[in-house]
Structure 1
Amino acid sequence: MSFKPRNLLLFGATGQIGAFILDALLSARDEFERIAIFTSQNTVETKADSLVRLKKNGVEIIVGEISDEEAVGKAYEGIDTVISAVGRGAILAQIPLIRLASAAPSVKWFLPSEYGTDIAYSPASAYEKPHQGKLKIRAYLENKIEVPHLAYTYVVTGPYADMYVYLLGEGPRAVGGWDAKEKKSTLVGEKGEGRVSLTTMKDVGTLVLATLRHPAESWNRALKVNSFTTTPAAIQAEFERQTGGERWTDVTYTSLPELRTLENQAWESGAPTAPLITLRRIWAEGGTLYEKRDNAMIGEPPVQTLEEVVAQELQRVNS
């Protein structure tokens, strides 16, 4: 394949995960002719200082609303690769973005906002409630009648390690997580021994950049990539090691049946934590594990370790 991405456009670049992707691209600024971001007027007004810094680093700022098809179409002029990092609430807004990208003469490659849990891990994945929006995006991208000339790549990372280790407090404690400040935790699964593959948010950026560097290996496929595979018990042991070596006394466990009960109750009551609980159940069931990950296909980029994640979390809570 002779294609090499040179002119990039990012959606959601100032959001939680988009900022890490943009940072990674800027670390390789000389590899690209253009790095542009499409952002709203609200972002211009609320993140003015950040946008000034981006401009100084050679980022082109295009202001508009993603619902404005004329503005999006104009933004695609001269762009060959589109990267989306829109949040869960805007997942379906990608359909017109994809349609317009397919119609744009210069655009060849689209990376949708796929970072996270594998939505096609098993036949059961098609019925998981949090997956439905992303499943519709995949179906649209793979429809060669609707999108005949646009290549795609799904960068599937599994849960974000940075968030996995401090979710305690965002929902019922039994959902699982670690409170490093109070030295208390809840481990999901039998003795916390279930394996889970995690990716740091920084590494999402690293892995997207590596994907762009390997189009021949990445086009029209899902890349299953991650930072490391561990267990809740191993995370607990690492927290204890980095907090003086003593056992934490406030450690509880949630079985998978208990987690399923919490999940059903959350959906029935309309709790905002319901998608989170479903995702944690999927992770605890092994829905991020593969016989072989795809990091090597994109050059085996350097990734962070569990030790680094725990150290960063301890620094966060103690700062």
Structure 2
Amino acid sequence: MASGTPLPKNVLVFGATGVIGKYIIQELYNARSSFGKIGFFTSKSTAETKAGDVNGWKAKGVEVIVGDVNSEDDVNKAYKGYDVVISALGRNAIAAQIPLIKLAESAPSIKYFYPSEYGTDIEYGPASATEKPHQFKLQVRKYIRENTKKLKFTYLVTGPYSDMFFSPAGKDERIGSFNITEKKATLLGTGNEKISFTTMRDVGRLLVAALETPTTSHERTLKVNSFTTTGKEALAEFEKQTGAKWEVSYTPLDALKKVEKEAWEKDSPHKTSATLRRIWLEGGTLYNVRSNGEIGFEGKEETLEGHVREIIAKHDGV
């Protein structure tokens, strides 16, 4: 920690009951001794439809603030008493972060803001600027660079979530699939391409590590991951732990590009996944140096072996 840089103490989360948000709030709670106050902002409808989760967090001492994310008054009231904002808003709500950032910039207590960056590196190279799934995140970064001065921002770039990648693909197995029930996999490319993954639990743990290593910079990009593997290596681990030989098929890169093009033309629900998986297959998760060590997380990551064990245990209801 830089001399004189205060540790973030009071943490407010947006999107805490969502896909990645539930892992983030859990790991913040697990590390609660490092923080003064933990809270999350949620809508009235979410508080009602996910009442079990919301009331469970209340019972544990997490502050739950119910309001309208589009109301400046509700958001300003929520910011009082907090010094760091964590956004875990989903892909369809990424642009909604801009007004949250605008209000945080003028809020007296807020010093740090973590935008919802979890996933693929949106500034990996020149081609990143035109990738369709990146556009809202790029707009957020543009806004930050042109309109903020006070806040310190951290982009936690995690790459693909292994929990989702090593699962059935749904209706289109051509974009890659690991199906434990049927002992069947569709590997992308040749199966030998390296992809760096982050487990969803590690996303939360890495975020806590980043909070415990504050920055003096206006913008900090942390490129982190749990492990790097290939499709064939992952398949071998699943076969070893399930004790069965799996049926395997392949979607070469050229074929994946055709699937991607078709998905966007037909406005398929798999269009974004097809593009992201093509980016990963082309090496878009591989970095010369990862940032795990910068935040004291090197050697603490989940492993491929351990994660496959967890996935199988969940599937078997263990």
TM-score normalised according to structure 1 size: 0.95
CA-CA distance at 1:315 after TM superposition: 2.1
| Corresponding residue number in structure 2 for 1:290 | 287
- Measured in 2, the distance between the counterparts of 1:243 and 1:32 equals 41
CA-CA distance at 1:291 after TM superposition: 1.4
RMSD: 1.3
Q: Does 1:256 align with 2:218?
A: no
- Measured in 2, the distance between the counterparts of 1:217 and 1:287 equals 28
TM-score normalised according to structure 2 size: 0.95
Q: Does 1:100 align with 2:103?
A: yes
Q: Which runs of 5+ in 2 are unaligned?
A: none
Aligned residues of 1:141 and 1:147 also touching (Cα < 8 A)? yes
Q: Does 1:87 align with 2:75?
A: no
Q: Does 1:305 align with 2:315?
A: no
**Amino acid in structure 2 at the alignment position of 1:186:** T
**Amino acid in structure 1 at the alignment position of 2:279:** I
Given the superposition, is the C-alpha separation of residues 217 and 316 from structure 1 closer, same or farther in structure 2, using an over 3 Å criterion?
A: farther
CA-CA distance at 1:31 after TM superposition: 1.6
CA-CA distance at 1:229 after TM superposition: 0.4
Q: Does 1:141 align with 2:138?
A: no
Aligned partner of residue 178 in structure 2, secondary structure: strand
| Corresponding residue number in structure 2 for 1:13 | 16
- Measured in 2, the distance between the counterparts of 1:136 and 1:206 equals 27
Q: Does 1:153 align with 2:154?
A: yes
Aligned residues of 1:211 and 1:218 also touching (Cα < 8 A)? no
CA-CA distance at 1:247 after TM superposition: 2.9
Q: Does 1:179 align with 2:179?
A: yes
**Amino acid in structure 2 at the alignment position of 1:305:** T
**Amino acid in structure 1 at the alignment position of 2:32:** R
CA-CA distance at 1:292 after TM superposition: 1.3
Q: How many residues align?
A: 313
CA-CA distance at 1:278 after TM superposition: 0.4
**Amino acid in structure 2 at the alignment position of 1:75:** A
Aligned residues of 2:149 and 2:218 also touching (Cα < 8 A)? no
1:243-296, Cα deviation, whole Å (9 max, x unpaired): 11x432x20111100000110011111111100100010111110001111000
**Amino acid in structure 2 at the alignment position of 1:88:** R
1:37-57, Cα deviation, whole Å (9 max, x unpaired): 101111221222222221222
Q: State the identity %.
A: 51
Aligned partner of residue 149 in structure 1, secondary structure: coil
- Measured in 1, the distance between the counterparts of 2:292 and 2:214 equals 14
Aligned partner of residue 251 in structure 1, secondary structure: strand
- Measured in 2, the distance between the counterparts of 1:284 and 1:154 equals 22
Q: Does 1:22 align with 2:25?
A: yes
- Measured in 2, the distance between the counterparts of 1:20 and 1:292 equals 25
CA-CA distance at 1:218 after TM superposition: 7.4
1:200-238, Cα deviation, whole Å (9 max, x unpaired): 000000000000000037761110000000000100100
Q: Does 1:314 align with 2:287?
A: no
- Measured in 1, the distance between the counterparts of 2:145 and 2:61 equals 33
Deviation >6 Å, runs of 4+ = none
- Measured in 1, the distance between the counterparts of 2:268 and 2:86 equals 31
Choose 282-291 or 160-169, whichever is displaced more. Answer: 160-169
- Measured in 1, the distance between the counterparts of 2:180 and 2:133 equals 28
